[in-house]
Amino acid sequence: MKAIVYVIAIVVAGGAAFFSVSHSGKFDELQKDRLTTIASNKEVTAKAEAADKNIKDEKALLVASQDKKELVSQSIETLKATGSTLKNEVSKLDTSLEGQTAEFTQLEKALDEVNAIMSTLGGGVTLDNLGEKIAEIEQSKKDKQAKLDELKTLVSGAEKNIESKRAEADRLVTRGIERNARISRNSMEAVVTAVNQEWGFLVIGAGSNSGFTPQTALLVQRDGRKIGRVRPSSIEPTQTIAEIDLESLAPGVRLQPGDRVILATPTGN
């Protein structure tokens, strides 16, 4: 029995030793792999840091390049603006030159005209005595203008006199026409065309076309005798309705169609 126990103990001890040795070998391998991995990681990290540095350097170069590009663009724009300004100035100079050329041409033309005028003024006229000659011409012009103004004043007075006489003639003609119209109205007679005894009005065959107004006072006559008065109450262009003044009628007299109507008060001439 003890022998069996010893054997088992020996087997256990041998197995433990075996496992210890086996695990020791595996640990060494694992330690070696760990060290290798650490070294590899350090190498990768170093490469990554180097790559990051390269990227930063490239970015710095890119920023610098963009700044240079911006400066170049600004310089180009400045040069373009300067070129445009120079073109405008050149254009202005060309325009000014054209204006001066045109002005010079006009001066030459004016000089030719002065020379032509001087040639018409007669001999002895030069640029030195041109002022005196012009003063003589201006004085002659003033004298003629004064004479012209005087003639205009006389003509204006004559025109006003003619206008006044024309107005007086028109007034006399108008007055004559109005006088004839008044005379015509004074001699006017109209005929009674209808009578309404019950309502006390009659109808006259004349109206506003004949000069009747609401204020016109009318007399009614028969066979040349005045037999009553009427007052217009409604006037139309060709007929008048008038109220009969019953108090003006003689006893037993009744107005009837065919009676004549005249103005009660003749219009003054």
What residue numbers bound the domain in which 249 lies?
189-263
Q: What is the pLDDT of residues 59-111, one digit of tens each?
A: 888 888 788 888 777 878 887 887 788 788 877 877 877 777 787 688 777 76
Each residue of 152-172: pLDDT tens digit?
887 787 778 777 767 765 675
How far is Cα 212 from Cα 190, in angstroms, rounded to an integer? 11
Among 168, 187, 206, give the residue marking a domain's end.
Answer: 187
Residue 33, domain member (yes or no): yes
**Helix (H) and strand (E) counts in the chain:** 2, 6
Measure the CA–CA gap between 220 and 204, rounded to whole angstroms: 10
**Which of 120, 138, 169 represents a domain boundary (last residue)?**
120
- Nearest 5°: the CA angle 116, 120, 122 is 130
User: Both 167 and 206 in a single domain?
Assistant: no
Amino acid residing at 225: R
Amino acid symbol at 46: A
Asked whether residue 205 is domain-assigned, the answer is yes
User: CATH number of the domain that 241 lies in?
Assistant: 2.40.10
Q: Is residue 269 part of a domain?
A: no
> Do 93 and 112 sit in the same domain of this protein?
yes
Q: 16-69, pLDDT tens digit by residue?
A: 555 554 556 676 777 787 788 888 778 878 887 887 788 888 788 888 878 888
Residues 17 and 86 in one domain: yes
Q: Scanning the structure block, which residue is given the tokens 């004298």?
A: 143
142, 196: one domain: no
Q: How far apart are CA 2 and CA 7, in angstroms?
A: 9
Q: Are residues 169 and 82 in the same domain?
A: no
Q: Which two tokens stand for residue 29?
A: 């391998």
Half-sphere exposure of 232 (CA within 13 A, CB side): 24
The CA distance from 126 to 118, in Å, is 7
Domain final position from 157, 187, 217: 187
pTM: 0.33
Are 106 and 13 in a shared domain? yes
Is 178 a domain residue? yes
Tally of CA atoms within 13 A in the half-sphere of 17 that contains its CB: 6
The model's pLDDT over 245-264, given as tens digits with 9 standing for 90+, comes to 999 888 888 999 999 999 88
- Residue 165 CA to residue 25 CA, distance in Å, equals 157
Tell me: do 156 and 182 sit in the same domain: yes
What is the tally of structural domains in the chain? 3
Write the burial class of residue 51 (CB in 10 Å: 0-12 exposed, 13-18 middle, 19+ buried): exposed
